[in-house]
Amino acid sequence: MTELWKLTASELAPLIAARRISVKDAVASVLQRIEAVNPALNSIVQRMDAQALADAEAADSALARGEAAGPLTGVAVTIKVNVDAAGFATTNGLRSQAGLVAEVDSPVVANLRKAGAIIVGRTNTPAFSLRWFTRNSLHGATINPRDQSLTPGGSSGGAGAAVAAGMGPIGHGTDIAGSIRYPAYACGVHGLRPSLGRVPGFNATAGDRLIGGQLMAVSGPLARSIPDLRLALAAMAAQDMRDPWWQPMPLQGAAVARKLAYLEAPDGMAVAQPVRDALRAAADRLSDAGYQVEAVAPPPLREARDLQLRLWMAEFRQDATAALRAENDPDASFVYAQMSRHCPEIDLPEMMATLKARARLTRLWRSFLAEWPLVLCPVSGELPFADHRDVASPSAFDAVLEAQLAMIAIPFMGLPGLSVATGTLGTKPLGVQLVADQFREDLLLAAAEILAPQPVGLAMAQGQTR
């Protein structure tokens, strides 16, 4: 029999609902996997074994009483350490928050529990969730299970590594500039950034965010299969009125023309040949499946990227500069200095102009997506970066930033994006990004099921796949 930790959520949940296997056995198998591989990877930095087993026993008892299973009953899930989980510290990779213990679950955590998911651990992030790499002075560095020389991505690098290595079929991540999509890309799994307003969010430990985070930061799932992303999104998106941006939008939208805009190198961004090859292969596959694929000129992405960074940095300066100095994390301090070169401080008129430009760019993009409901573009212009490349030098940081152009721009307009793993080049994962209009994650997932009809392979601790 296949070891239970190897099953996807969509394979496991029906077996548990039919009581062919117990929740306790399923969870215990994942905990054994965590014990075996996490010491080498450091993706889970807060273990939750005792609570997970207690929750599993409670779930088995409920099923024995005849209670209906939830859509994720018995499915092991990890939660990133930058959102509140009751009884655990919301560290965000910071020594200064090591004792910031949450009293209540954030909405996304509460929704996963309501769906029956069993939370088995909390995953690593860079300090302040500020990089596309994962290392901090509190928890240390996370290793990519597919190739230890590569970044596991960031800021949800712990989530990407955990999912790739089989430490739970679903990982929770957050994304303001690619922090779900890039770890998925780097670790060779799938990652969905939902639309603004799809998945409710709020951290009582921090209070309300400033406008940048309100407009651009979302929670979403990482998984090895597209059906698992569907299950996770449906669970995460349940109502929670603590988030004033949340909207009760259907998960399945109206039928649209199967038209796809092909953006191989949008706004003149540099794109490596293997990335171009992966994009062309994906375009061919979707064309064969009946999509009308055309290379067309999109609305601005570079402008959206630049304004996204301006808004993000304005929020960081307002809320986090004192904490940055107090934390004195070398990576975060270096990245902040480089970001400051690109995004000088702005005054109130410049902030107002940034928000005004957001309205224009969002209008342009939503109008474009009305004509071209699906966009295919790079996740990154390069294959997954060598680990910690961004802090090697200012020029290295600039190269990293440029490669992420298409990924950074999308959140500025509140759009959903999906990083789809499509293969490997040696030990380096390959993938593409799909983009759609607000609340049309269904279009992303339908196309992704064509590109990735089977679950991606698991990564072992030594970087080998099964």
Give the tens place of pLDDT for each residue, 173-211: 999 999 999 999 999 999 999 999 999 999 999 999 999
| β pairing state of 140-141 and 44-47 | unpaired
Average confidence (pLDDT) over 361-380:
98
pLDDT in tens, 392-438: 999 999 999 999 999 999 999 999 999 999 999 999 999 999 999 99
Question: Would you say 191 and 160 are in contact if contact means Cβ atoms under 8 Å apart?
Answer: yes
Q: Among residues 192, 197, 163, which one has the least CA distance to residue 178? A: 192
The per-residue pLDDT for 10 is 98
User: Is the Cα torsion angle 374, 380, 384, 390 positive or negative in sign?
Assistant: negative
Q: Among residues 228, 125, 222, which one has the least CA distance to residue 165? A: 222
80 in active site: yes
The per-residue pLDDT for 259 is 98
Which position among 24, 43, 80, 419 bears the catalytic label?
80
Which position among 179, 195, 225, 380 bears the catalytic label?
179
259 in active site: no
Which position among 22, 29, 106, 155 bears the catalytic label?
155
Q: Where do the structural domains in the chain lie, given as residue ranges?
A: 4-303+345-451
Q: Given CATH 3.90.1150.10, say whether it is the number of domain 4-303+345-451.
A: no
61 in active site: no
The one-letter amino acid code at 134 reads: T
pTM of the model: 0.97
Question: Would you say 164 and 187 are in contact if contact means Cβ atoms under 8 Å apart?
Answer: yes
Q: Among residues 156, 161, 105, which one has the least CA distance to residue 129? A: 156
Q: Spell out the residues 6+ positions from residue 463 whose beta carbon is closer than 8 angstroms to its own.
A: 144, 145, 146, 147, 148, 427
pLDDT in tens, 297-326: 999 999 999 999 999 999 899 988 999 999
The per-residue pLDDT for 1 is 58
Preceding peptide of 393 cis, ω within 30°: no
CA distance 98 to 463: 30
